[in-house]
Amino acid sequence: MAEALFRKFTDQQHIAVTIASAGLHAIDGTVADPRACSSAREFGISLTKHRARLLTAEMMSQADVVFSMDFQNQAELKARYPFFEEKVRSLASFADPRIPGDEIPDPYYGDTAATRNCCAVLANCVQNLVEKLELTRS
């Protein structure tokens, strides 16, 4: 969802960036969860072509920044790829101050409402990040 939202908002602002989504425990080629697909549609994005990818050292090397969703993943990223730890940032740090919490909730074990909430938090964080990118570009 984060990748698709990032593409949507950067396209709207005509910001040229390379965006890739990958997970620490992803199973390559897995399709997006139906709950995520449904929630994504509500936010004007499609996950029908999305396929999971396992994060690699090569991806970490090529990235300018790697966003984590929560503290556990951030710690695991830094432990697994210590040479790239300066690239790891929390996407939740871009959340509107009115959104509670310092992490983006993982909806995997939740229901449709949890997935919708996660997508809303992601949309807020990504939109704020893209706005900051737009300001630095100006």
pTM confidence score? 0.93
Instruction: Provide the residue-wise pLDDT of the chain in tens; the chain has 138 residues.
Output: 999 999 999 999 999 999 999 999 999 999 999 999 999 999 999 999 999 999 999 999 999 999 999 999 999 999 999 999 999 999 999 999 888 889 998 898 899 999 999 999 999 999 999 999 988 876
Q: CA angle, corner 13, sides to 101 and 132, nearest 5?
A: 40
Q: CA angle, corner 5, sides to 3 and 7, nearest 5?
A: 70
For position 60, what pLDDT does the model report?
97
Which residue, 1, 78, 98, 86, is CA-closest to 40?
Answer: 1
Q: Provide the CB-side half-sphere exposure for 115 (13 A, CA).
A: 18
Tokens standing for residue 33: 């969860």
For position 29, what pLDDT does the model report?
97
Q: Is 43 within 8 Å of 119 (Cβ atoms)?
A: yes
The secondary structure of residue 21, as a DSSP letter, is -
For position 129, what pLDDT does the model report?
96
Q: Which residue has the tokens 């630095």?
A: 136
For position 72, what pLDDT does the model report?
95
Domain 2-133: state its class: alpha beta
Tokens standing for residue 10: 């950067």
